[in-house]
Amino acid sequence: MSQKEIAVEMRNIHKIYPDGVVALKGVDFIVKKGEIHGLLGENGAGKTTLMRILYGEIKPTKGEIKIFGERVKFSGPWDAIRKGIGMVYQHFTLVPTFTVKENLFLSLLSINPKATIDEAIEKAKQVSKQTGLRIPFDRVIEELPIGVQQRVEIIKSLIREAKILILDEPTSVLTPVETKDLFEALLKLKQQGITIIFITHKLKEVKEITDHVTVLRRGQVVGTVETSKVTEKDLARMMVEREILFKLEKKPAKPGREVLVVKDLEVYDDRGLPAVKGVTLTVREGEILGLAGVQGNGQKELAEAIAGMRPVASGKIIIDDIDVTQLSAFERYKLGLAYVPDSRKVGLIYDMNIVENVALTNLYRIISKKSRRMKWGVAEKIASEVISKLEVVAPSLSTPIKYLSGGNQQKVMVGREIVREPRAFVVTEPTQGLDVAATEFIRKTLIHLRDEGKAILLISTDLDEILQLSDRIAVIYEGKIMAIGKPEEFTLERLGLLMGGVHA
């Protein structure tokens, strides 16, 4: 292959984030001109990081990049845009209160200060015709469906004459019809010689639209293969294979009666689209049910609905035989439900101290029934219990939570639920971003709680965590449960297929 036929050549790319996270370890990534190249991998594999480097948004710690054979060093996205690279993020970068044409104009202005709005419209009309992507020029962005916003985002790149278009999980926000339209547009762009890098975790999409696919696992390339030469099974295996590093000591579960029951649950996401589509699950006393899946497949909405923080469209949530579907979060907490959200930024108030943060989910124990006042003495006692039980390292109870390390913050967030002795415990990404010691501590704590008879629903995108802790595993994909069963019933390959949307 001559240098000219290669659109992107990234060699030996390393990325260590400022906080020490090693996201990429010596990645080689080569994309041929005019192809659709898939980038596949689990959550945290490094896909977005690699593409942010290609788009000049972050700098590699080490490594070389060539675009159409020319060595480049980008100091920001503008450099990348000038070399013909465009990127469509999972979260868009449009100005929500501007119209479509104003956004396009802004985009064109950034490469040509003399551009006029008419030029922007003219160029966009051409692109629209070539790709079949229709957009309403006079509408305000924030009033448009997400699928249309995405089209504007793509056209925005194309009027800047992008030759290489990066799409980060573009179909995760689209309906099936919108996905079909997008794929048709991508094929048309390919015919015109545009190179497309397509990030996804959906195996069917890789097979359907890509020419080559590169699989990343834990910051390294597992392989680059010709799509027509591999099966979905091959890809699933490449994506998830690993050695199970350390096994946690764990007695066999002794599941008792049903504590948390979710029946035919339907829940909408923030945009009003169905996110949970008829989920049925049962969690018993003394067991951990692990819900595996790639981020953004309805896990967050499911957890919030169970916790009473998001309305239920239909279906039922039952705790200890009581239908709580219409009860407030506060009432559910009183009935013995506990919830750890997927982000500390959501669960904790950073300027508040440890006692206040612990009090947040223990209010029903702390507010005096008579005077309706806070009993701070009680709150302090509960907070001390959290500190000693979870071995939280902190200068004092009155230290603002923001001064604690991530691991200690997480311990507070988990600990304030544990000390309430909940019956049903919904935990989302309990060890996200924690070091090895804190991770092991939290995982052991969950096993201990299960041995005490708590019913635990563990929602995690970390497959190791699911495999280590679960007594039963369920896999969620696009808001539906793909399969549920004992860990022995799942090989890694089968898990990979199910997480990628293929029934196995």
Ligand X SMILES: Nc1ncnc2c1ncn2[C@@H]1O[C@H](COP(=O)(O)OP(=O)(O)O)[C@@H](O)[C@H]1O
Q: Which residues bind ligand X (CB under 6 A)?
A: 17, 19, 21, 23, 41, 43-49
Residue of minimal Cβ distance to Mg ion: 48
User: Which residue, chain included where needed, has tokens 């609905």?
Assistant: 305
The site partner of 49 among Mg ion, ligand X, none (C-beta below 5 to 8 Å per kind) is ligand X
Does 107 bind Mg ion (CB under 5 A)? Our answer is no
- Closer by beta carbon to Mg ion, 182 or else 483: 182
Residue 224 CA: distances (Å) to CA of 60, 119, 210, 357 = 21, 40, 12, 47
Residue 22 or 111: the one with the smaller Cβ distance to ligand X is 22
Question: Which C-beta is closer to Mg ion: that of 47 or that of 310?
Answer: 47
Minimum CB separation of residue 90 from ligand X in Å reads 9
Residue with tokens 């984030």: 17
Which residues 40-59 are close enough to bind Mg ion by CB under 5 A?
47-48
Q: Considering the complex, what minimum distance in angstroms separates the CB of residue 82 from Mg ion?
A: 25
Is residue 200 near Mg ion by the rule CB under 5 A?
A: no
On the CB side of 37, how many CA atoms lie within 13 Å of its CA? 25
Residue 41 binds: one of ligand X, Mg ion, none (C-beta under 5 to 8 A by kind): ligand X
Whose Cβ is closer to ligand X: residue 286's or residue 500's? 500
Q: Is the Cβ of residue 48 or residue 362 nearer to Mg ion in the bound state?
A: 48
Q: How far apart are CA 106 and CA 101, in angstroms?
A: 9
| Cβ at position 169, least distance to Mg ion in Å | 6
Count the neighbouring beta carbons within 10 Å of the beta carbon of residue 227: 18
- State the binding partner of 17 from Mg ion, ligand X, none, CB within 5 to 8 A by kind: ligand X
Residue with tokens 């639920």: 417
Least distance in Å: CB of 47 to Mg ion?
5
Contact (CB, 8 A) for 248 and 222: no
How many chain residues touch Mg ion (CB under 5 A)?
2
Q: Which one, 45 or 174, has the nearer CB to ligand X?
A: 45
Q: Residues with Cβ < 8 Å from 477, sequence gap 6 or more?
A: 293, 294, 297, 498, 499, 500, 501
CB of 460 to Mg ion, least distance (A): 16
Nearer to Mg ion by C-beta: 48 or 439? Answer: 48
For the record, the structure tokens of 193 come out as 């010689």
Determine which helix (DSSP H) or strand (DSSP E) holds 8, and give its type and residue range.
Answer: strand 6-16
Q: Which of Mg ion, ligand X, none does 336 bind, CB closer than 5 to 8 A by kind?
A: none
Minimum gap (Å) between residue 20 Cβ and ligand X: 8
Q: Name the minimum Å distance from CB 45 to ligand X.
A: 4
Q: Closer to ligand X at the Cβ: 40 or 337?
A: 40
- Tell the smallest beta-carbon distance from residue 410 to Mg ion (Å): 22
CA distances from 167 to 86, 161, 202, 210, 416 (A): 9, 16, 14, 13, 40
Is residue 461 part of the contact set for Mg ion (CB under 5 A)? no
Measured from the CB atom, the residue of 48 and 210 that comes closer to Mg ion is: 48
Shortest distance, position 455 Cβ to ligand X, whole Å? 29
User: DSSP strand E in 169-219: where?
Assistant: 195-200, 212-217
Which residues are CB-contacts of 359 (< 8 A; sequence separation ≥ 6)? 366, 374, 379, 382, 383
For residue 80, the partner it binds in ligand X, Mg ion, none, with Cβ less than 5 to 8 A by kind, is none
Instruction: Give the C-alpha separation, 348 to 85, whole Å.
Output: 39
Chain centroid, CA 444 distance in Å: 24
Of 48 and 325, which CB lies nearer to ligand X in the complex structure?
A: 48
Instruction: Identify what 243 binds: ligand X, Mg ion, none; CB under 5 to 8 Å per kind.
Output: none
HSE-CB for 376 with a 13 A CA cutoff: 6
Beta-bridge mates of residue 67: 8, 70
Residue 357 found at the interface with Mg ion (CB under 5 A): no
C-beta of residue 214 within 8 angstroms of C-beta of residue 27: no
Closest CA relative to residue 124, chosen from 115, 96, 313: 115
- Smallest distance, Å, CB 294 to ligand X? 8
Report the interface residues with Mg ion, using CB under 5 A. 47-48
